[in-house]
């Protein structure tokens, strides 16, 4: 989301491909909270409006916490992103893959793609 907000060309190339394939991206609610700072974020609003926002329910929160323990990381937002992706065997696009890759190593089926 941050890459899209910053008008990153690589992000928008992925975005175009996603739209062309009629794939609806999923944004975990915790990740949205981390990126959202107000209605003036027109690009981010465009992205969010085309996505499904996944709530951080009890099961997802517990899975994220368990991933933090296994990967020895403390960022529950990153962990919720990986836990969310694991539910669907999804890929995660990121400009900062280090901790996400550590978390994904404990979540089969999750691919981390660096922008």
- CB-CB neighbours of 80 under 10 Å: 25
Identify the CATH class of 2-114: alpha beta
Per-residue burial over 90-106, b if 16 or more Cβ lie within 10 Å, else e, is: bebbbeeeebbbbbbeb
pLDDT at residue 43, as a whole number: 93
pTM of the shown model: 0.92
Triad 71, 62, 84: Cα angle to 5°: 75
Token match 């949205």: residue? 32
pLDDT in tens, 4-57: 999 999 999 999 999 999 999 999 999 999 999 998 899 999 999 999 999 999
């Amino acid at each position: 989301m941050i890459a899209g907000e910053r008008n990153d060309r690589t992000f928008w190339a992925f975005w175009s491909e996603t739209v062309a394939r009629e794939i609806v991206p999923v944004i975990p609610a915790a990740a949205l909270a981390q990126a959202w700072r107000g209605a003036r974020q027109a690009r981010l609003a465009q992205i969010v409006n085309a996505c499904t926002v996944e709530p951080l329910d009890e099961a997802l929160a517990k899975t994220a916490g368990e991933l933090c323990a296994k990967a020895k990381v403390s960022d529950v937002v990153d962990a919720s992103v990986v836990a969310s992706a694991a539910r669907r065997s999804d890929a995660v696009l990121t400009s900062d893959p280090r901790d996400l890759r550590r978390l994904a190593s404990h979540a089969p089926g999750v691919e981390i793609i660096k922008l």
